[in-house]
Amino acid sequence: MASMQKAALIVGAGDATGGAIARRFAREGYATCVTRRSLDKLQPLVAQIEAAGGRAHAFACDARKEEEVVALVEQIESTIGPIEVMVFNIGANVPESILAETARKYFKVWEMACFSGFLNGREVARRMVARAMPKSGHRGTIIFTGATASLRGAANFGAFSGAKMALRALAQSMARELGPQGIHVAHVVVDGAIDTEFIRSNFPERYALKDSDGILNPEHIADSYWMLHAQPRDAWTHELDLRPWSEKF
């Protein structure tokens, strides 16, 4: 284990926020382990990190499947290094009227946005608590990405709001249980549109606000995730909300 490198696991390393978080931790010397269901979609991110001098490892993993999550964590811990940071960044935002919502889609949204957070959080926490407590008293960090829907349920967002509110409750429960064991559990409410291709293509009027800092920059979101991990344990933040200056709340 002495020759191994500390690892950061980013579950849901997409082209925007997840990728930016992976790059940020790579710059800090972490072996970034990034996951999506499609391995091919991770290759550009891995190439970016390696071109900047960092280390990255891509894994195809369905975060809803317990056996795949267990195998993923085991592989990282045994071949790359101890997971010191886990960021859960799966969204599953699929708007739909409650009158037209199907049981199948509602359940799938919950699986992606909440249940998979439980699976990944549990497996990583089990590894963290099994390690000896360092002098800093900080065994590791687990961060869950939340959304506006974590705080309030809007019309047509019944499935997403239900899942995100449940994820927030999971994060609170884990923080209260695991904090005394040296694990910093945080929940980040990202309240606003993010600079992504999806927003640019589907909401051009919202994307136009970028010029006036009216949408969230993924790189700036990533800076806040690093800040959370670097906090001393006498001043841990559990919940952090991020939004553009112009966003109403």
* Confidence class for position 58, pLDDT limits 50, 70, 90: very high
Radius of gyration over alpha carbons of the chain, in Å?
18
Q: What is the pLDDT of residue 166?
A: 97
Tens of pLDDT, residues 159-198 = 999 999 999 999 999 999 999 999 999 999 999 999 998 8
* Alpha-carbon torsion angle 200, 50, 55, 222, nearest 10: -30
Q: Is 55 exposed, middle or buried (0-12, 13-18, 19+ CB in 10 A)?
A: middle
**How high does pLDDT run on average in the chain?**
95
Residue 79 has pLDDT above 90, yes or no: yes
Q: What is the pLDDT of residue 4?
A: 80
Tens of pLDDT, residues 24-33 = 999 999 999 9
Q: How many CA atoms lie within 13 A of 54 on its CB side?
A: 24
Q: pTM for the full model?
A: 0.96
